[in-house]
Structure 1
């Protein structure tokens, strides 16, 4: 596709549209809630349509090698800012738009009306997340990370209370420290390699040696600390359960996605820069990611079993998800990355649905009922119902019970939903390395054991909470649920079911995305050889 084609400018829309809409909403008075909501919704739906279009363009040969490059200001890479979209980036944009639509719909009746500038902050958050998925330059990745984090600070404190303020201050402090590590790492990488463009860095890797290589590895290790803090790797993820439990439901749903942005950056950078053709640096850090990921899984699983609050339980579940993705990257096998990406999609949507569901479930719980359930557990009290004949279940309670069961099945990885398909895919890849021609490594058995342990822990934790809430708490009054609260949860769970039904085509798409990620020369050539628009002022200088 020619860079002058109007379709090529779709690459810029996921960043430009939320920026403009967010800026437009800042001066609008908070009393004009319907207008602000309409603009926000228009932007989210526009992002959804754009993501679908980019997926089609990336997967149907519209761009050479399935890579679309947008050169900002018409400066050729690596001198200018390059935005890059491929199959994976387009899919992450779609996931972002879906979660944003669900969170925004949920916030309609209550959360978007509390406090000020919710809609502007929401748009700036989307701008930062989308930019992080699209940028192919480490410094601009830092810029988009900071935009994303700055917006999340405001959203986390939105509708503030004492608990939210304490969690917010901890979250801000941790991320400011991570941002400092980010800048130091970027500076060291530039000092040793002379570039921050990821494709150009990958092209220069074979020639970097000696002191420069040592400096580069130190910079990448420091940079990785920033990514791993955001990915909640143990022991850097201690902040996450408190933050998740304190955030409002729509913000918590978006925080689930933000945790995956760090894992995405690790995946993109490591597979591109430290590939087999990277010379002396080939394979750097893979073992550390593998074992750190598995330790993170164990930590998250233990936290789930120890949690008595749904918010903290969900937070530890997100840590398990992040640990799994880090271990997948560290294992360094293309087929495992395919299954890991499928796991990312299902677990992110299920965890986001669970975050929205928590507030609805809390409406039927009371401290007295929770205390009664704990007492009955402790003293093994059996309760025999007076009437053996069942009674009709009100619709609201039925929805909450079914939605909770669906989230539990996906998070724990039980059949028949997408969580089970994802874990089956992971195990199949681990037991069939390199097409089945090589022996299964001992780390594969250990990784499977850790994943099974995490699933078992999730089953126990979710079952314990489900029994206490829907069974041992006795008679409960059906809660009042708004359609805008039910629909987002139902939408995300239906998408998880669709992911299960369409597992074959989805695995095919993700396999192509994984193949792209492991084709470093294709990325390097696709980005560095992207043509500028001819006849535009500055073109000659860009060349």
Structure 2
């Protein structure tokens, strides 16, 4: 194999880390240089992610899916640090790179000047995200978790202002507490098993003694709480809407992938350590994930309807997305999880585009315009009844408003799950798999169907109301000035959602294969623990697993 290909697994971590540290050598007067270097770095990460997706989707011998195992320093696992690239990790790397490219391009218009060291913090955030998706052990997961959190602290405060400082004072302590819980959970797990390698933990789970199993489950529960805080599960999500609403537009858009870190880790560890092969611990915590996810969807839907500002509406839309994914994981059905992975990608791009779009729309509004509009909506405008003899008739909608309005309609359709876009395909795939399970359909599944559809209706009502009063009701607001470098990222994210719609068949086949492989923890453990040198490539066997795996659903 080509030597460069062997080391692709580590480049998504080393590249942004090295470039981010290198740019610390230059002061803020070299912004153009930093801009070019950062954009080239993200473009390279995108090329690497595309290559890794192609590699893991490539058959190897009698295997139809490839897993790339990279032991750092050639120390064999479980004693050495190992990076693992499978279908799920490669998918998350690709989504992160695409979202990072769009948000970085948007920030280059003006936001990169709003505070110091923006590009370094942005690349460190990418380092932490990529590392969390690639690492094969819990200790280094904590390390990368702390790197991305440290970068996010600076990015939340980027641009200063009272609202951002207030949000940061909530965001930072909450995540510090989550980090402490992470350490406690990891310590309990290591004390019981003597290892933090995920593949080794999966291998040991069926053989644990009852006393050790109880401590292992306690450690996993504490660890799960830490990541449920990051995923935004109710009632641990009170910080999220305020923080996302206060952050500047490109950072709020980039944070759309931050909640998915918690989702990713929960999905990975739940199926590795508490899947069907975990013995007495099979489906541990599934009920909490399922009902917690449903509660999060309900809370997010109510928040969407109650939001008076478009930024807070976006924050609650993130909660609806997180709740949907958590409930899907809790079903324990591989077909539902494949639809959830499709939904993860679609919702991440749609929410990212929404946050960028809101910043453009609200440029022409005065401060507090959202609250004023709600007040007039409730109590009425006393000047509405006064006839305006000079009213213009037949004035065309300005081109900028028309473009922003079209993009807003696309975001509404995606987040509400309206046909024919990819948001509808994702929800239909989940609900179809849920309803096609063998045997009688339990009441809890009908509750999931109702809650998911109700949340889509709530999103449709709230976003339609906001769009009408902001874009299509005649006001005295100015037409916002939008630069091409700001419009292109929004259009690119929406185009990706349209591409997922058009290429729904191949995309769903990739998601289905990814979900099925996640239900082979023994194969994952064998491939990782059997690796001996950097760049080892192994794969998943050709024999297919059932399309629907039961378990976990209440």
**TM value normalised by structure 2:** 0.92
Alignment check: 8 A CA contact 1:138 1:198 kept: yes
- Residue deviations 1:336-370, cap 9 Å, x none? 00000000011010000011111111112235865
2:59 is aligned with 1:61? yes
* SS at structure 1 position matched to 2:84: strand
Distance 2:307 2:428 in 1: 27
Determine the structure 2 residue equivalent to 1:501: 502
Alignment check: 8 A CA contact 1:373 1:473 kept: no
Distance 1:369 1:390 in 2: 26
Determine the structure 2 residue equivalent to 1:96: 96
Q: Which of 394, 403, 425 is equivalent to 1:390?
A: 394
Distance 1:369-1:210 versus aligned 2 partners, 3 A rule? closer
Q: Which of 9, 13, 16 is equivalent to 2:14?
A: 16
Determine the structure 1 residue equivalent to 2:118: 118
Distance 1:416-1:391 versus aligned 2 partners, 3 A rule? farther
Distance 1:285-1:349 versus aligned 2 partners, 3 A rule? same
Determine the structure 1 residue equivalent to 2:491: 490
Distance 1:533-1:377 versus aligned 2 partners, 3 A rule? closer
Determine the structure 1 residue equivalent to 2:346: 346
The unaligned stretches of length 5 or more in structure 1 are 535-543
Determine the structure 2 residue equivalent to 1:539: none
Distance 2:119 2:475 in 1: 40
- Residue deviations 1:38-82, cap 9 Å, x none? 111111000000000000100012596411100001011111011
Determine the structure 2 residue equivalent to 1:540: none
* SS at structure 1 position matched to 2:83: strand
Please report how far the alpha carbon of residue 455 of structure 1 lies from its aligned counterpart in structure 2 after TM superposition.
0.7
Please report how far the alpha carbon of residue 5 of structure 1 lies from its aligned counterpart in structure 2 after TM superposition.
3.8
The unaligned stretches of length 5 or more in structure 2 are 536-554
Determine the structure 1 residue equivalent to 2:211: 211
Distance 2:414 2:40 in 1: 31
* SS at structure 1 position matched to 2:7: helix
Moved beyond 6 Å, runs of 4+: 381-388
Q: Which has the higher contact order (CA 8 A, sep 6+)?
A: 2
Determine the structure 2 residue equivalent to 1:510: 511
Determine the structure 1 residue equivalent to 2:40: 42
2:415 is aligned with 1:414? no
Please report how far the alpha carbon of residue 415 of structure 1 lies from its aligned counterpart in structure 2 after TM superposition.
1.4
Distance 1:217 1:495 in 2: 40
Determine the structure 2 residue equivalent to 1:459: 460
Determine the structure 1 residue equivalent to 2:550: none
Distance 1:368-1:322 versus aligned 2 partners, 3 A rule? closer
Please report how far the alpha carbon of residue 31 of structure 1 lies from its aligned counterpart in structure 2 after TM superposition.
0.2
Q: Which has the higher mean CA deviation after the structures are superposed, 38-47 or 376-385?
A: 376-385
Please report how far the alpha carbon of residue 473 of structure 1 lies from its aligned counterpart in structure 2 after TM superposition.
4.4
Determine the structure 1 residue equivalent to 2:540: none
* SS at structure 2 position matched to 1:506: helix
Give 1:145-294 correspondences, 5 Å limit: 145-294=145-294
Determine the structure 2 residue equivalent to 1:430: 434
Determine the structure 2 residue equivalent to 1:541: none
Alignment check: 8 A CA contact 2:296 2:320 kept: yes
CA RMSD of aligned residues (A): 1.8
Alignment check: 8 A CA contact 2:56 2:68 kept: yes
Distance 1:214-1:480 versus aligned 2 partners, 3 A rule? same
Alignment check: 8 A CA contact 2:69 2:534 kept: no
**TM value normalised by structure 1:** 0.94
Distance 1:474-1:87 versus aligned 2 partners, 3 A rule? same
- Residue deviations 1:225-269, cap 9 Å, x none? 100000010010100011001101111111110011100100001
